[in-house]
């Protein structure tokens, strides 16, 4: 069904194409996985070349870093509901348990506070349910307005 | 004296490090890791800028490699937590990183990493991390 003219469009309608047009997200095979009351979600398929420990077959923490960063950034855009350049100020990740080999990793991120210049985001990474997280992240984003330095998606 | 793992072998053990294309150099007991620039590592094609997740992952690998090398581990240490501060956008060029082992205890190690591109005095990011040491 075509979108109704009087329905306000949401910036999150663009998220799948934003992820697909980001070279590093394509390299990882990451995808946009929709949004819910828990936040904006992204997925990362399990792949042999993303393994961190060959003995256990567990995905590298570093492979998660990118979808946590990207998912958190999209949570800020979802709160803004428009495109503005944003830059990650900092990102902290706690690794709670090993990911289960063979499973897609899902990241769900929520921007719990937005100011004119900052977005504060909390995210969880999990392979089954958000209640049993593999990792948790806390990130702060600067919302820039054409600053000459430091915009990052 | 026990056998010391060659630095290249430490990276070869991590498929994800091969995926990123990470290389390393050894000067004395200090490693410098290199992330050669590739188009697929871009996060923002407009600037262009390296993806923040690439820089974070590269620094985490640097911490693991320095720990594994200095402490002569046969197993890769597991990250407990990492905190990344992004100072400047990563340009479309090679990136370098070096780790400092602040403390290596029996079960926990505390490691700092700094990453830079064309000027080491102008780092693009820093990382503070804890690792679990086993095996």
Which CATH architecture group holds A11-143?
A: Roll (3.10)
C-alpha to C-alpha distance for B125 and B56, rounded to whole angstroms? 8
Return the pLDDT at A4: 52
Mean of the per-residue pLDDT values of chain B: 91
Which run of H or E residues covers position A110?
strand A105-114
The answer on pLDDT for B86 being more than 70 is yes
Query: CATH code at B109?
Result: 3.10.129.10
How many structural domains comprise chain B? 1
Query: What average pLDDT does this structure show over A105-110?
Result: 98
Q: What interface predicted TM-score (ipTM) does this complex get? A: 0.92
The distance of B26 to chain A (nearest Cα, Å) reads 22
pLDDT in tens, B94-105: 999 999 999 999
C-alpha to C-alpha distance for B113 and B132, rounded to whole angstroms? 17
**Assigned token pair, A5:** 């003219």
For chain B, report the end-to-end CA distance as a whole number of angstroms: 18
CB contact under 8 A, B14 and A52: yes
B47 to chain A: nearest residue by CA? A151
C-alpha to C-alpha distance for B59 and A3, rounded to whole angstroms? 44
Is residue B2 a part of any domain in this protein? no
Instruction: Locate the domains of chain A by residue range.
Output: 11-143
Task: Identify the band that residue A53 occupies on the pLDDT scale cut at 50, 70 and 90.
Answer: confident
Return the pLDDT at A150: 45
Sign of torsion over alpha carbons B56, A13, A59, A132: positive
A21 to chain B: nearest residue by CA? B45
Tell which of A22, A50, A52, A84 to mutate to test the B interface (max B CBs under 10 Å): A52
């Amino acid at each position: 069904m075509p979108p109704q003219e009087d329905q306000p469009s949401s910036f999150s309608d663009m998220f799948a194409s934003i992820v697909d047009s980001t070279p590093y997200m394509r390299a990882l095979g990451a995808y946009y996985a929709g949004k819910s009351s828990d936040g904006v979600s992204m997925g990362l398929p399990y792949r042999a070349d993303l393994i961190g420990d060959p003995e256990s077959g567990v995905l590298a923490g570093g492979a998660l870093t990118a979808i946590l960063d990207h998912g958190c950034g999209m949570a800020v855009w979802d709160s803004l509901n428009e495109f503005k350049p944003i830059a990650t100020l900092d990102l902290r990740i706690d690794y709670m348990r090993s990911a289960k080999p063979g499973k897609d990793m899902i990241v769900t991120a929520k921007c719990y506070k937005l100011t004119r210049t900052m977005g504060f985001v909390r995210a969880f990474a999990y392979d089954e349910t958000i209640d049993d997280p593999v990792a948790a992240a806390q990130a702060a984003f600067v919302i820039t307005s054409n600053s000459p330095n430091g915009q990052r998606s | 004296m026990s056998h010391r793992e060659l630095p290249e072998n430490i990276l070869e053990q991590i498929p994800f490090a091969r995926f990123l294309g990470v290389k390393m150099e050894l000067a004395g007991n200090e490693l410098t890791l290199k992330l050669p620039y590739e188009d697929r590592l871009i996060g923002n094609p407009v600037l262009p800028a390296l993806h923040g997740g690439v820089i974070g992952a590269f620094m985490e690998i640097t911490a693991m490699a320095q720990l594994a090398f200095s402490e002569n581990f046969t197993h890769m240490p597991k990250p407990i937590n990492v905190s990344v501060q992004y100072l400047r956008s990563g340009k479309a060029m090679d990136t370098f990183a070096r780790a400092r082992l602040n403390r290596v205890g029996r079960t926990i190690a505390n490691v700092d990493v700094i990453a830079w591109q064309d000027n080491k005095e102008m780092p693009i990011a820093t990382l503070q991390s804890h690792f679990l040491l086993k095996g």
